[in-house]
Each structure stands twice: as structure tokens, then as C-alpha cells.
């Protein structure tokens, strides 16, 4: 990196921090945002079906056929970003030459699905693998599970992605965040013509960040920043130490093959992982909602809804719930303030969407908002925008 580049990078960084200080304060809790409308609603997320009876190498063909151009565009943008950071082209070299060797080390059916996505999009396997690694390490979000007064459980989330990945000075937006929005898809995963689970995802990604097994449970994942973080686990994987599971593969496996809240909780708490994470899980009965705080090895803490203690919801951003959030990134206090103001008697899709639309819970990294109701099996998701004035994260 030469001094001109370094200088530009620093200026950009200062400008973003300044924007955060100016616009990071909480606004009044939003009301009347649902059904989604206005400048923060960018559009509906389209639905697709993935048939689990199809061979893994073929099952994403329908999605990829429609989203090929957008997928190639985002991978191109990621490559350009990598090139601008590491001028020698070494990073791109790694993607083209080293990552493809990883394909055969990934577990079935993920290896086959990624191979299929590369074939049908025409993109190099290394790039598709990179696209799939991303979410293991860069996902900042807000998730909440809440119980209403009749024992009905709601699960909502904002998926915030693209932090520090290229800032567009012209219109104050994150480059990768912008490019990901057109890739957002709702997927109905079917086996023998019946829905097994539904998910909001990004075309080209085979793990899961947001999903519901109708009548059984709902699940979202948030990134947990830690020094023993995602990079370490992924490098270990490349070097041959492969006893941990990829976070996105675990969530996908749980959604696809686990049939109850209790079993999901056990697997999410006990399976060894490549990266630390928060799993936010909702069940189908009163009291079944929790945030599982994970290290790579085990669960540090399981924090549950407890009506007797007045805890009718659990809410997680990207910090351990027993500690204060990072001072420059407190989305938790505003989100909890608005949940408290809503009260248990009035929680619904409508009011949860209001909470998730209040800045800075909604910010310039927010790609989509998903709302799930386990009892009806309903999953709704909406693309988001956050026009100025708005916090960069
Ligand atoms: C910002 O501008 C780019 C093109 O330069 C465009 O692709 C993107 O959608 C814009 N983002 C927003 C949030 O308006
Ligand atoms: C699914 O339903 C379609 C028609 O609705 C039928 O043609 C197909 O054979 C069914 N597939 C399975 C696996 O049951
Ligand atoms: C779920 O279980 C089926 C049957 O054992 C298996 O074929 C499939 O690969 C599993 N899915 C995942 C994502 O592991
Ligand atoms: C809740 O989930 C369990 C385990 O899958 C299931 O046996 C039960 O019928 C479900 N209850 C409701 C009300 O859907
Ligand atoms: C919300 O209410 C809970 C439970 O009464 C309380 O512990 C928490 O401090 C409140 N948070 C905010 C931000 O109002």
C-alpha cells in the first residue's frame, strides 16, 4: 500500500467515524412503518424453491440462473477491493489458486452445491468459496425473539453486512452492501414436495443465516467478534486442522435435519465451530427463545426468555449480553428501548418491524429485515435502504 492509498484510506475512515458520531444517536422509536413503505423500503425479496430431492450439484440451478449477473458482479467487486488493499495481487492469487483446493475438504452436500453454483454461474470455484467464507466472519446484525401475551413467538432480524468493505463517497453507501441486496432471496426448501424449512439468504451462499422450520423453531446467527475469530479457524482448515464445523453449515444442517427446539439448542451449543458466533433460537412454546453465546469450542452462556423474571424477549446484536456494547456501536440500547416501549401486549410483525426500522438499529449496512412467526410458519422479508441522515453502522 503506497502513501497516497494509505492517506485516502485514513481520510475515508475519519469521514465514516464522523458520520457515525453525527448520525449514530437514536431517533424516536419508529411507528407506522408496516406494511413496509417509504424511503427505507427498497422492495420485496423474491421467492425460490430448492428441491432437496435433487442432487446437490443441481439444486441451486434455478436460483443461480436468475442471479448469475448479480453474483458475478459482487464477486468482481470483492476482488477489486482485495486488489486495492493488497496491491501485489497476492490475495487474488490465493483465491484463484489455493481456495479451489479447499472444495474437496468441505463436507457433503456443501462441496457438491458449491461446485454446482460455480458450474451454473460460470464463476471460478475459488470465488464461490470466498463468497461462502465471507459470512463466517463479517456479519453484524440485530436479532430478537419475543413472546406475546398468548404465548405466540415472533423472531425478527436485520442482516447488516459489508462493514469496512468499500465506501462509496458519492452517495454515502457501502459498496458490497449495495451489491448484495439484489442477491437476497427467500428460499423454500422442499423434500418430497413438502416444505422442510424456509430461509432468507443470498444467492450463491449455501449456509444459512436466517430460517424457520414451520411449527418447530426459528433460527438466526449473528457474528461474535473475538480475537480467536473466524480467520484463525479458516486458516487452520486450509492447513489441515479440520475438526470444527463451518458456522453456516451448522445452521443449515440444523434447519434441514433437526426437528425440535431442544435438539436444535443442543446441537448449536455443543458442535465445535470454526468461528465464535451468537445463535438466536426461537421454539414453538412459551419460554422457548434463547441467545446462545458461542466460543469455537462450546457455549459460554444460554440466555432464555423468562416470563417470571419479566423477560418476554431476548435481543442480540454483536456483543455478549452481560457486557456493555462497544461505545461506537450501541444498537442494543435503542432496540431494547423500543421493545420495552412496545410492551409484550403489543408485539407483532408490525411493531417488530417498527423496532427494526429505528436508526441506528436500521443503518447503512442493513440489507434486509426478516420477520418470522413459528406457529403459522410465516416468513416475510424486505430489502432495506437507509438514506441520509443515517448511521454507517
Ligand atoms: C450508490 O451508487 C451506486 C452506483 O455508483 C449504486 O449502484 C448504488 O445502488 C447506490 N446506492 C444507494 C444506496 O443509493
Ligand atoms: C411433486 O409434485 C409434482 C406435481 O405437483 C409431481 O409431478 C412430482 O412427481 C412430485 N414429486 C415428488 C417427489 O413427490
Ligand atoms: C440431512 O440428512 C440427510 C439424510 O441423512 C442427508 O442426506 C443430508 O445431507 C443432510 N443435510 C445436511 C445439510 O447435512
Ligand atoms: C412443537 O415442536 C415439537 C417438536 O417438534 C412438536 O412435537 C410439537 O407438536 C410442536 N408443537 C406445536 C404447538 O406446534
Ligand atoms: C428494558 O426492560 C428490561 C426489563 O425490564 C430492562 O432490564 C432494560 O434495562 C430495559 N432497557 C432499556 C434500554 O430500556
- Ligand 3 contacts (CB < 6 A) are 109, 252-253, 256-257
Whether 7 has a pLDDT exceeding 80, the answer reads no
Q: Which ligand is nearest to the CA of 42?
A: 1
Nearest Cα residue to 161 out of 137, 139, 130: 139
> Cell for 363?
443503518
CATH number corresponding to 27-54+138-159+183-384: 3.60.60.10
- CA distance linking residue 63 with residue 108, whole number of Å: 20
Mean pLDDT value of segment 262-278: 95
Radius of gyration of the chain from its Cα atoms, rounded to whole angstroms? 20
> Cell for 93?
492469487
pTM of the model: 0.94
In tens, the pLDDT along 223-233 reads 887 766 666 77
Residue 18 half-sphere exposure, CB side, CA atoms within 13 Å? 7
What is the DSSP code (8-state) at residue 311? B
CB 367 within 8 A of CB 180: yes
Q: Which ligand is nearest to the CA of 191?
A: 2
Whether 283 has a pLDDT exceeding 90, the answer reads yes
Number of neighbouring beta carbons within 10 Å of residue 375: 14
CA 16 to ligand 5 center in whole angstroms: 30
Nearest Cα residue to 370 out of 189, 163, 145, 152: 145
pLDDT for 140? 76
Q: Does the annotation mark 390 as catalytic?
A: no
Helical ranges in the chain per DSSP H: 3-23, 61-85, 90-97, 99-102, 110-121, 125-137, 175-180, 230-239, 247-257, 261-270, 332-342, 349-356
Residue 259 alpha carbon, nearest atom of ligand 4: 5
Please name the helix (run of DSSP H) or strand (run of DSSP E) that holds residue 51, with its range, or none: strand 47-51
Q: How confident is the model at residue 5 (pLDDT cuts 50, 70, 90)?
A: low
- CA distance linking residue 60 with residue 82, whole number of Å: 27
Whether 138 has a pLDDT exceeding 80, the answer reads no
What are the residue ranges spanned by the domains of the chain?
27-54+138-159+183-384
Whether 325 has a pLDDT exceeding 70, the answer reads yes
Pairing of strands 184-191, 194-202: antiparallel
Number of neighbouring beta carbons within 10 Å of residue 266: 14
Q: Please tell me if the CB atom of residue 70 comes closer than 6 angstroms to any atom of ligand 1.
A: no
Mean pLDDT of the chain: 91
CA 196 to ligand 1 center in whole angstroms: 36
- Ligand 2 contacts (CB < 6 A) are 53, 192-193
CA 311 to ligand 5 center in whole angstroms: 9
Q: How confident is the model at residue 282 (pLDDT cuts 50, 70, 90)?
A: very high
Q: Please tell me if the CB atom of residue 168 comes closer than 6 angstroms to any atom of ligand 1.
A: yes
Contacts of 58 (CB under 8 A, 6+ apart): 116
Catalytic residue among 141, 290, 386, 390: 141
- CA distance linking residue 187 with residue 201, whole number of Å: 7
Q: Please tell me if the CB atom of residue 40 comes closer than 6 angstroms to any atom of ligand 1.
A: no
pLDDT for 316? 96
Mean pLDDT value of segment 130-137: 82
CA 194 to ligand 2 center in whole angstroms: 10
Contacts of 245 (CB under 8 A, 6+ apart): 271, 272, 273, 274
- Determine which residue's CA is closest to atom 6 belonging to ligand 2: 193
In tens, the pLDDT along 19-57 reads 777 776 778 999 999 999 999 999 999 999 999 999 999
Q: Which ligand is nearest to the CA of 264?
A: 4
- Ligand 5 contacts (CB < 6 A) are 310, 333, 336-337, 340
Q: How confident is the model at residue 265 (pLDDT cuts 50, 70, 90)?
A: very high
Please name the helix (run of DSSP H) or strand (run of DSSP E) that holds residue 188, with its range, or none: strand 184-191
- CA distance linking residue 151 with residue 103, whole number of Å: 44
pLDDT for 136? 75
- Determine which residue's CA is closest to atom 3 belonging to ligand 5: 340
- CA distance linking residue 215 with residue 375, whole number of Å: 5
- Determine which residue's CA is closest to atom 12 belonging to ligand 5: 337
Please name the helix (run of DSSP H) or strand (run of DSSP E) that holds residue 301, with its range, or none: strand 299-304
Q: Which ligand is nearest to the CA of 54?
A: 2
Mean pLDDT value of segment 326-339: 92
Whether 187 has a pLDDT exceeding 70, the answer reads yes
Mean pLDDT value of segment 206-227: 93
- Determine which residue's CA is closest to atom 8 belonging to ligand 4: 216
pLDDT for 237? 78
In tens, the pLDDT along 57-75 reads 999 999 999 999 999 999 9
Which residue reads 435435519 in cell numbers? Answer: 257
Q: Phi and psi dihedrals of 162, rounded to 5?
A: 115, 15
Contacts of 40 (CB under 8 A, 6+ apart): 33, 357, 362, 384, 385, 386, 387
- CA distance linking residue 334 with residue 347, whole number of Å: 16
Amino acid at each position: 500500500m503506497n502513501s497516497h492509498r494509505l492517506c485516502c484510506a485514513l481520510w475515508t475512515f475519519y469521514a465514516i467515524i464522523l458520520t457515525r458520531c453525527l448520525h449514530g444517536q437514536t431517533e424516536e422509536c419508529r411507528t407506522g412503518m408496516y406494511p413496509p413503505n417509504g424511503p427505507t423500503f427498497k422492495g420485496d425479496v423474491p421467492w425460490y424453491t430448492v428441491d432437496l430431492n435433487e442432487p446437490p450439484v443441481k439444486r441451486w440451478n434455478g436460483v443461480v440462473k436468475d442471479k448469475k449477473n448479480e453474483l458475478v458482479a459482487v464477486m468482481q467487486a470483492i476482488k477489486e477491493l482485495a486488489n486495492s488493499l493488497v496491491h501485489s495481487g497476492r490475495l487474488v492469487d490465493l483465491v484463484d489458486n489455493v481456495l479451489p483446493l479447499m472444495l474437496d475438504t468441505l463436507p457433503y452436500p456443501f462441496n457438491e452445491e458449491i461446485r454446482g453454483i460455480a458450474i451454473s454461474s460460470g464463476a471460478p470455484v475459488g470465488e464461490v468459496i470466498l463468497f461462502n467464507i465471507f459470512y463466517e466472519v463479517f456479519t453484524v446484525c440485530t436479532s430478537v425473539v419475543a413472546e406475546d401475551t398468548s404465548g405466540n413467538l415472533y423472531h425478527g432480524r436485520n442482516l447488516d453486512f459489508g462493514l469496512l468493505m468499500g465506501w462509496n463517497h458519492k452517495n454515502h453507501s457501502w459498496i458490497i452492501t449495495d451489491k448484495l441486496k439484489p442477491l437476497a432471496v427467500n428460499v423454500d426448501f422442499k423434500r418430497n414436495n413438502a416444505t422442510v424449512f424456509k430461509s432468507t439468504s443470498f444467492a450463491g451462499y449455501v449456509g444459512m443465516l436466517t430460517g424457520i422450520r414451520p411449527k418447530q423453531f426459528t433460527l438466526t446467527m449473528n457474528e461474535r467478534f473475538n480475537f480467536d475469530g473466524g480467520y484463525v479457524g479458516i486458516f487452520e482448515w486450509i492447513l489441515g486442522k479440520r475438526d470444527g464445523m463451518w458456522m453456516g453449515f451448522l445452521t443449515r444442517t440444523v434447519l434441514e435435519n433437526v426437528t425440535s427446539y431442544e435438539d436444535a439448542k443442543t446441537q448449536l451449543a455443543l458442535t465445535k465451530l470454526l468461528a465464535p458466533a451468537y445463535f438466536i433460537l426461537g421454539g414453538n412454546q412459551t419460554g422457548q427463545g434463547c441467545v446462545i453465546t458461542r466460543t469455537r469450542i462450546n457455549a459460554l452462556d444460554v440466555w432464555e426468555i423468562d416470563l417470571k423474571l419479566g423477560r418476554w424477549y431476548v435481543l442480540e446484536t454483536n456483543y455478549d449480553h452481560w457486557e456493555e456494547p462497544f461505545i461506537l456501536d450501541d444498537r442494543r440500547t435503542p432496540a431494547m428501548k423500543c421493545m420495552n416501549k412496545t410492551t409484550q401486549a403489543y408485539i407483532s410483525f408490525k411493531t417488530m418491524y417498527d423496532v427494526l426500522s429505528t436508526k441506528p438499529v436500521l443503518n447503512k449496512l442493513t440489507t434486509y429485515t426478516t420477520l418470522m412467526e413459528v406457529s403459522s410458519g410465516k416468513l416475510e422479508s424486505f430489502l432495506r435502504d437507509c438514506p441520509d441522515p443515517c448511521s454507517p453502522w
